[in-house]
Amino acid sequence: MNIRRIRAVTRKEFIHVLRDRRSLGMGILMPVIMLILFGYALTLDVDRVPLIVWDQNRTPHSRELISRFLGSRYFSLQGYVQSYGQVEEAIDRRRALAALILPPDFSSRLTSKKGVSLQMIVDGSDSNTATIALGYAEGIVLSFNQDLILQALQRQGGATAAVPIDFRPRVWFNPDLESRNYIIPGLIAVIMMVIAALLTSLTVAREWEQGTMEQLISTPVKAPELVIGKLIPYFCIGLFDVLLAVLMGEFLFHIPLRGQPALIFGQAAVFLVGTLSLGLLISIAAKNQLLASQAAMVATFLPSFLLSGFAYPLRSMPEVLQGISYAIPARYFIILLKGIYLKGVGPRILLLEGLFLVLFSSIMFVLAVKRFKKRLE
């Protein structure tokens, strides 16, 4: 392998990238734009659920319970109604996602210790939001119940009363349960896989379409030298994109980075070699820029978005899809990024995922070299 020939191919590819503003824009601006759009638009947090209330009791007890819903950041009062018809209309017109209904005997049954039933109507057309909203409502009602029990015990037995179970949940690594904190690291992996494969998917195909491949074939440059020379410019662009993503996560999205930044760049470098080689392999096989770009999109975006654990938990998927997910490199890169970002763990914990990335990159690079043949077909 000749370093001078690799340097010559690299220089040629750098010149082409700098002259081709579309490729340069795709390589630098597209990851930034996608990170901003997905970072702000994609969220799994459920805040300010539109709520309507039908208070048929109108007593201090009912007003106290309602105030707890209104004092929570999870619900936003849209108004009061006076009938089930108004509840149905508000939900049908999407003015409210949930309705809290308090019966006329709410206060009297509380004071007489008979127990009382509350009704919560939730729009199930958005099942995920509905499930989370019901969980929030159950937590508020449970807190209200505990306070009533404590007040009753204090009236009966003195000034203080002990709670039977003192439940104190604590969330590690993401104490505020902000979905952005784990979405952004996953986004970095998905975006880098798509952009890297798209960039190199056009290189060899462009050479065939422009008629310059014949000139490359006639030179003494060997297949491994040509592959490495074409990868290096896009590898540099990819690392620059990772730097931009880390800086945006730190200063724009305020994502906590508890691990070592050097570990992020080290794993990103291995991941980039694999994804760039995958794009190059597609380009070599397709020999057409449109076909190569479409194939790269299908081969990277859909698997990395759906089967990497980024958007949907893998454990809830059928076993067949769980098995397929082990072949998706973004799965391991996402685990690595979340571990470094949120948990601050090091190479000892993430060794297995790192080895899988090395294996993926090695296989993709070898296949790209083997697939490229210096002859006209």
Q: Examine the domain organization and report whether 209 and 346 are in the same domain.
A: yes
Neighbours of 344 (CB within 10 A): 15
Q: Examine the domain organization and report whether 73 and 24 are in the same domain.
A: no
In this structure, is residue 164 part of a structural domain? no
In this structure, is residue 287 part of a structural domain? yes
Q: Examine the domain organization and report whether 361 and 315 are in the same domain.
A: yes
Tokens of 49: 């659920």
Among 370, 299, 11, 350, which Cα is nearest to 185's?
A: 350
Q: Examine the domain organization and report whether 59 and 109 are in the same domain.
A: yes
Vertex 170 angle, CA 339 and 313, to 5°? 45
Calculate the average pLDDT of the chain. 87
Domain count of the chain?
Answer: 2
End of a domain among 103, 122, 157?
157
Q: Examine the domain organization and report whether 30 and 120 are in the same domain.
A: no
Q: Distance (Å, rounded) from C-alpha 228 to C-alpha 225?
A: 5
End of a domain among 157, 189, 210?
157
This prediction's pTM: 0.81
The string of DSSP letters for 41-59 reads H------SEEEEEEESS-S
DSSP E strand stretches across 242-301: none
39-53, 180-194, 261-275, 315-329: range with highest mean pLDDT: 261-275
In this structure, is residue 79 part of a structural domain? yes
pLDDT classification of 45: cutoffs 50, 70, 90: confident
Q: Examine the domain organization and report whether 276 and 290 are in the same domain.
A: yes
Q: Examine the domain organization and report whether 121 and 12 are in the same domain.
A: no
Dump pLDDT digits (tens) for 175-232.
Answer: 877 888 888 999 999 999 989 898 888 888 877 777 777 777 777 888 888 889 989 9
pLDDT classification of 47: cutoffs 50, 70, 90: confident
Vertex 95 angle, CA 176 and 118, to 5°? 70
CB 229 within 8 A of CB 5: yes
Q: Distance (Å, rounded) from C-alpha 158 to C-alpha 354?
A: 61
In this structure, is residue 163 part of a structural domain? no
Q: Examine the domain organization and report whether 239 and 284 are in the same domain.
A: yes
End of a domain among 99, 126, 157?
157
Q: Examine the domain organization and report whether 350 and 233 are in the same domain.
A: yes
Q: Examine the domain organization and report whether 65 and 142 are in the same domain.
A: yes
Q: In the predicted model, is pLDDT for residue 162 greater than 80? A: no
Q: In the predicted model, is pLDDT for residue 163 greater than 60? A: no
Residue 140 burial (10 A CB sphere; 0-12, 13-18, 19+)? middle
Task: List the CATH number of the domain containing 124.
Answer: 3.40.1710.10
Q: Distance (Å, rounded) from C-alpha 115 to C-alpha 130?
A: 26
3-state secondary structure 180-200: HHHHHHHHHHHHHHHHHHHHH
Rounded mean pLDDT of 83-109? 91
Tokens of 342: 């949120």
Q: Examine the domain organization and report whether 19 and 103 are in the same domain.
A: no
Among 229, 230, 185, 232, which Cα is nearest to 336's?
A: 185
Q: Examine the domain organization and report whether 34 and 67 are in the same domain.
A: no
In this structure, is residue 173 part of a structural domain? no
In this structure, is residue 162 part of a structural domain? no
CB 188 within 8 A of CB 275: no
CB 323 within 8 A of CB 302: no
Model pLDDT, residue 157: 64
Tokens of 338: 């979340």
Which residue range(s) make up the domain with 66?
A: 49-157
Q: Which amino acid is at 231?
A: L
Share of the chain above pLDDT 90, in %: 44
In this structure, is residue 279 part of a structural domain? yes
**27/96: higher pLDDT:** 96
Rounded mean pLDDT of 32-51? 84
